[in-house]
């Protein structure tokens, strides 16, 4: 073997040795990099899926209306002589509110009453004359007709005088006075509002598909943002026998008690109706469910035992679920998970199936069935 061939063989050996050595070095460094860049555990909060009792409810927003409420007006024109009420006071049915000037009307009534009295005297005299056959029946009948006509005129004038005294049509609470003494009012001019507040109607609408779940006498709970800690109880009094064609909604009227006069006509309230027997649902906080265009998912915690360091090895597993009704901060899960499974409630944005996790439940998302405004 010549010296030249030996040199060539040595060069080839060095070349192949370098190639295999480089590959071994790259493989080693890749494994080391992948080991050092493995995804760190994600800190999440969790909750154990448990069943809870749900009372089926129908929710709506309604408007309050007085059972009896009216804008007190004058039926005839006249000058206000006297105002006999104080704004904001309670009044009884028939109590005088406003007296209009009726002097000329009363004088006219006295004249008509006198004429009616004269007609009565004439009739009585002619009746005796008729019994003595001194006058004809025609004269007696004419006298009787004249008497009835004059009495009718007197009654008409008396009704006109009575209208000059404006009374409360029912018991209730007055609003702010809209007139002053000496003011001339025309028929229909507003004088004061009168509202009966002991009980109120709440009007609200529901979709037609809820008709099978509502009935007269059904209990209603109403709440107002004016009194967030109070619930006013009533019952459905009327279901409108017609569905609105434009909205396919049916109008419902419920009557609620208001003995303390806390609520006022015109206020809006949130309404809840009990609609069926209580049911038990697997319940999770709303934050546990991830809503996607392709369906709803949750992350279930899988326990892989203990790792090399002796600590629990926990991973997250994404699973599809079917959700049901919701209430407050909670949502019902119909299928997809089992009772007792641990479900992630926060931190899902950094998760995928198989991600290692660390559980920290010092701070939990809200899970209130009936949250208050301050909690939102």
| Domain boundaries of the chain, sorted by first residue | 42-55+280-370, 102-163, 199-274
The CATH T-level fold of domain 42-55+280-370 is: 2.40.420
**pLDDT attached to residue 293:** 87
Q: Which two tokens stand for residue 308?
A: 């090399």
| CATH number of the domain located at residue range(s) 199-274 in this protein | 2.40.30.170
**Same topology between domain 102-163 and domain 199-274:** no
Residue 287 contacts by C-beta under 8 Å, 6 or more apart in sequence? 345, 346, 365
Q: Quick one: residue 262, left, alpha or beta (phi over 0 = left, psi -120 to 50 = alpha)?
A: alpha
Could you give the CA distance from residue 186 to residue 75 in angstroms, rounded to a whole number?
8
pTM equals 0.62
CA dist list (Å): 235 to 64, 219, 221, 257, 272: 14, 4, 8, 9, 11
Mean per-residue pLDDT pooled into runs of 10, the chain (376 residues): 61 60 59 53 89 85 92 93 92 94 92 92 87 84 91 93 93 93 93 93 92 89 89 92 92 92 92 83 90 90 69 84 87 91 89 86 78 56
pLDDT score recorded for residue 309? 58
Q: Does domain 102-163 have CATH number 1.10.287?
A: yes
Find all residues with CB under 8 Å of 37, minimum gap 6, and list them.
Answer: none
Phi, psi of 273 (to 5 degrees): -115, 135
* Among 200, 182, 198, 175, CA closest to 71: 175
Q: Give pLDDT, residue 36.
A: 43
């Amino acid at each position: 073997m010549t010296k030249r061939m030996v040199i060539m063989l040595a060069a080839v050996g060095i070349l192949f040795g370098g190639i295999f050595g480089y590959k071994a070095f790259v493989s080693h460094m890749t494994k080391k990099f992948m080991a050092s860049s493995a995804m760190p555990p994600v800190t999440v909060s969790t909750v154990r899926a448990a069943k809870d009792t749900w009372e089926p409810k129908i929710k709506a927003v309604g408007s309050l209306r007085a059972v009896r409420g009216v804008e007190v007006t004058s039926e005839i024109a006249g000058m206000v002589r006297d105002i006999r009420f104080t704004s904001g006071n309670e009044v009884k049915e028939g109590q005088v509110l406003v007296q209009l000037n009726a002097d000329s009307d009363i004088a006219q009534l006295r004249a008509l009453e006198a004429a009616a009295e004269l007609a009565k005297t004439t009739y009585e005299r002619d009746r005796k004359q008729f019994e003595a056959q001194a006058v004809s029946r025609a004269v007696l009948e004419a006298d009787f007709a004249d008497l009835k006509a004059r009495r009718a005129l007197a009654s008409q004038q008396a009704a006109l005088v009575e209208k000059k005294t404006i009374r409360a049509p029912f018991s209730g609470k007055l609003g702010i006075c809209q007139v002053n003494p000496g003011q001339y009012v025309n028929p229909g001019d507003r004088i004061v509002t009168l509202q009966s507040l002991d009980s109120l109607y709440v009007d609200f609408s529901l979709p037609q598909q809820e008709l099978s779940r509502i009935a007269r006498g059904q209990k209603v709970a109403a709440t107002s943002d004016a009194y967030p800690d109070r619930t006013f109880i009533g019952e459905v009094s009327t279901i409108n026998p017609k569905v609105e064609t434009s909205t396919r909604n049916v109008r419902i009227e419920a009557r609620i008690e208001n003995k303390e006069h806390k609520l006022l006509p015109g206020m809006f309230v949130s309404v809840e109706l009990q609609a069926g027997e209580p049911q038990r649902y697997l319940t999770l906080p709303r934050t546990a469910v991830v809503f996607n265009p392709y369906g709803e998912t949750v992350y279930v915690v899988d326990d892989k035992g203990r790792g090399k360091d002796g600590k629990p090895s926990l991973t997250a597993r994404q699973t599809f679920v079917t959700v049901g009704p919701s209430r407050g901060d909670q949502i019902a899960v119909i299928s997809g998970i089992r009772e007792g499974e641990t479900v992630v409630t926060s931190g899902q944005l950094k998760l995928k199936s198989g991600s290692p996790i660390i559980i920290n439940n010092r701070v939990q998302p809200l899970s209130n069935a009936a949250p208050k405004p301050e909690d939102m």
